[in-house]
Homo-oligomer: A and B are copies of this chain.
Amino acid sequence: MAGAAPSEEALRRALAERQAAVDAQAEAVRSLKASGAKAGVDAAVEALKALKIEAGAAARRLQASVGSGGGAAREEMRQAVVNTLERKLFYIPSFKIYRGVAGLYDYGPPGCAVKSNVLAFWRQHFVLEENMLEVDCPCVTPEVVLKASGHVEKFTDLMVKDEKTGTCYRADHLLKDFCKDKLEKDLTLSPETAAEFKRVLAVLDDLSPEELGAKIKEYGIVAPDTKNPLSAPYPFNLMFQTSIGPTGLSVGYMRPETAQGIFVNFKDLYYYNGQKLPFAAAQIGQAFRNEISPRQGLLRVREFTLAEIEHFVDPEDKSHPKFVDVADLEFLMFPRELQLSGESAKLTKLAEAVSKGTVNNETLGYFIGRVYLFLTRLGIDKCRLRFRQHLPNEMAHYAADCWDAEIECSYGWIECVGIADRSAYDLKAHSEKSGVPLVAHEKFSKPREVEKLVIVPSKKDLGLAFKGNQKMVVEALEAMSEKEAMDMKAALESKGEMNFQVCTLGKDVVITKKMVSISMEKKVEHQRVFTPSVVEPSFGIGRIIYCLFEHSFYTRPSKSEEEQLNVFRFPPIVAPIKCTVFPLVKNQEFDDAAKVLAKELTAAGISHIIDTTGISIGRRYARTDEIGVPFAVTVDSATEVTIRERDSKQQVRVGIDEVASVVKELTEGQSTWTDISFKYPSHIGPQADQE
C-alpha cells in the first residue's frame, strides 16, 4: 500500500489545478457581470459550470483514493512531517529532560512564531473585522461557575482500571480498538459477528457505563499492557482540580474552555455595547483537560489554546447583515442526511444550505463561511476540509444546530472548529445559579397592549390540602399552557373542581376553585425582555496548526537528485520567519550590507534571520525551506540583491533599499509574488545554479 502515495499526490495536484480553474473562471464571470457586458456572461457561466463538474469529479476521485486505504503511506507521510517538526523544534515534548509528561507539548521557536501569527490573523479576521469585544479571563475558575455550566457533573470520560496495577484506560478506546482489530485481522469472523462489531463502533459514544462494562466483559477485553482483568467503567472528571486560597476549602478548577468567562460577563458586555444586539465577544486563552490516556500526538493534549467567539443574537431574528458576503462560497458540506445515508460530503453553496434549511439560520451560516475563509487563507487545503453537521445523538438537547469544521490529516478527519447555535442554554444556566438576570431588552417604538395569562395558586389552600406535596402542585399549576389553564378555568367555574395530573408526583390530584385563580389580563408593555441565543464558533488552535503543518509539507529532490528536501509551503502570514538574509560569500562588504538590511527589516517589523555561515547557498536555501521561510535575500553587492521565492524558486533583482518594503508588501498581502516578479527583473545567477 506504500505505493499509493504518489498517485494520491497526483490526484491532489489534479484537483488543485481544477479548483484554480474554477476560481479563475468565477472571477472572470464576476468581472464580466460588473462590466455590464451581458453578451459574454451566459457563455462564461456555462464554462464555469463545466469546470465545477470536473472539479467535483476530481475531488471524488481523490476522496475515493484516500478513503480506500493508503494507511501505510499516511503513516509514512506523518513520520516525515513529525520528524521535521521535532528536529526543527516546531514543537518539543514538554519537560523532555525529565522524560516528559504525556499530552503536554512546548512550541519551540518556529512553532511559537506560527502560533502567534495564526492568533494575530484570527484577531484580524474575526475580532477586528466584526468589532468583537475581546476579553481575557483567568484559567483558575471557582467551582460554582462550572457547576452552573454542567462541567462538574458531566465533563467526564468513562475509565477502567487494571485491577492489579491500577493503570487507567479509557473504556471506549479499549472497546473501539478491540472491535477494529477483530474486523481488520480476524478472517474467521462470521458475517453476524462482523455486523455486531460494526454496530458497536457506530453507537460507541452513546453507551452507558453499564452497557460499556457489559461489552468489555462479554468480549473478554483485558488490560492491553498486562492482560490483567479490568474494573467496571466509571466516570472520571477531566478537569484539573485545585484549591483557591490557603484554607483548602474553596475548590477550583483549571477551565476546560474559555466560553464561561464570557457568559458570566454578559451583562457588563451588553451594557458596554450600548444594550444593542447582536454583538459578539471573543476570547483567546489556555484551556485544560486531564485526559485519561492522551494519544494522537498534538491532537489530544492536556493543555491547549482555544479561541472562542460567543455571538449573542435575538432568538427571533437570526438573520445576518453580512451573510451576502459569504453566500456564494462553495465548499464540502456533510449534512446529517448524507451521513445517515452513507454518502460522502458534497460541494455545496452556502446560500443554498441556508435557504434549504440544512444550516439552521443565517448567523450560523455566516460564521461557517467566515471559518472556511479563515482556514483556507491560513493554508488549509480546501479538498481536505469539510463542514460536518452533528448527528442528533451528538448534539446537546438545547442546541439548535451544530457543525464541525473537520480537517483531514494522517489521523483521519479531525474536528478543529465547532460552530454551534447553543440557543439560550448557557445564559439561562448562569442566570439561575447566580440569581443575576442575563437578559436583553427590546424597547418598543410605542408601547404595546398584550394579553397575559396570570395564574395565582393559593398557597394556603394548597398547603392545607397537599402538605409536603404542595410545592410540586404549585409548580405544575404555574407551568400550565394557556390552553390548559383556560380549560381548567372553565371546569372550575362550571364544576367547582377538576382532576389534574402532576407529573412530578406521578398521580392526579383534585384542584378546587379556591386553590387557584386564573385570568387573562391586559398589560401595557414598553419592551420585550428575553434571553439571547448564542452562536459559538470555538477554535482548537493547536489542532488547526498541526493540520496546517501536514497540509503545508512536501518534499522535492535536491539539485543533485541525491536526496529529498523538506519544504513547508506556509503562506507569508503564517510563516514563522518572513525572510532570510544571506551574504553570498564571506566578505566584509556583503556582511555590512546584510547588517544594514537586517536593521531595516527589524524597523519594518519583519522577522528574519541572517545566515553568515558561508556554506553553499543551496544548503542555506534548503535549511530555510525546511522551516517554511517564504523569501530569501541573497546579498551579492552593496546596492542590489536577489530575492528568491520558496516554492517557485524564482528570483528577482531588487535595489537593496527597496527590500524591506517589498518584503513587507509581500508578507502583509498587498502584493503577490507574481506582482513582484512582473515589476522587477528576474535573475538567473550563480546562486540560482546551486539549487
Neighbouring B residues of A104 by C-beta, 8 Å:
138, 140
Most buried by B among A95, A236, A264, A602: A95
Within 8 A of B (CB), among A239-289: 240-247, 250, 252, 254, 261, 264-265, 267-269, 272, 274, 286, 288
- Checking B134, B166, B241, B246 against A109 with a beta-carbon cut-off of 8 angstroms, the contacting residue is B134
Neighbouring B residues of A666 by C-beta, 8 Å:
none
A294 nearest in chain B by CB position:
B245
Neighbouring B residues of A434 by C-beta, 8 Å:
97-98
Indicate if A436 sits at the interface (CB-CB under 8 A): yes
Evaluate contact between B108 and A139: CB separation under 8 angstroms. Answer: no
Minimum C-beta distance from A281 to chain B (A): 8
Evaluate contact between A136 and B98: CB separation under 8 angstroms. Answer: no
Neighbouring B residues of A236 by C-beta, 8 Å:
246
Neighbouring B residues of A609 by C-beta, 8 Å:
131
Evaluate contact between A95 and B145: CB separation under 8 angstroms. Answer: yes
Indicate if A453 sits at the interface (CB-CB under 8 A): no
Indicate if A54 sits at the interface (CB-CB under 8 A): no
Neighbouring B residues of A397 by C-beta, 8 Å:
none
Within 8 A of B (CB), among A90-146: 92, 94-98, 101-102, 104-109, 111-113, 115-116, 123-124, 128-129, 131, 133-142, 144-145
Evaluate contact between B265 and A96: CB separation under 8 angstroms. Answer: yes
Indicate if A567 sits at the interface (CB-CB under 8 A): no
Evaluate contact between B242 and A254: CB separation under 8 angstroms. Answer: yes
Neighbouring B residues of A468 by C-beta, 8 Å:
none
Neighbouring B residues of A89 by C-beta, 8 Å:
268-269, 272
- Checking B95, B108, B247, B303 against A268 with a beta-carbon cut-off of 8 angstroms, the contacting residue is B108
Within 8 A of B (CB), among A127-177: 128-129, 131, 133-142, 144-145, 159, 166-168
Evaluate contact between A242 and B240: CB separation under 8 angstroms. Answer: yes
Minimum C-beta distance from A20 to chain B (A): 24
**CA–CA, A274 to B243, complex, Å?**
43
Minimum C-beta distance from A242 to chain B (A): 5
A to B CB contacts below 8 Å, 16 in the list: A89-B268, A92-B135, A92-B265, A96-B264, A97-B436, A98-B433, A101-B140, A104-B138, A112-B134, A112-B135, A115-B136, A131-B609, A139-B139, A168-B247, A243-B290, A244-B302
Task: Give 10 closest A-B pairs by Cβ, nearest first.
Answer: A107-B136, A97-B434, A168-B246, A109-B133, A97-B436, A138-B303, A106-B137, A240-B242, A112-B136, A112-B134
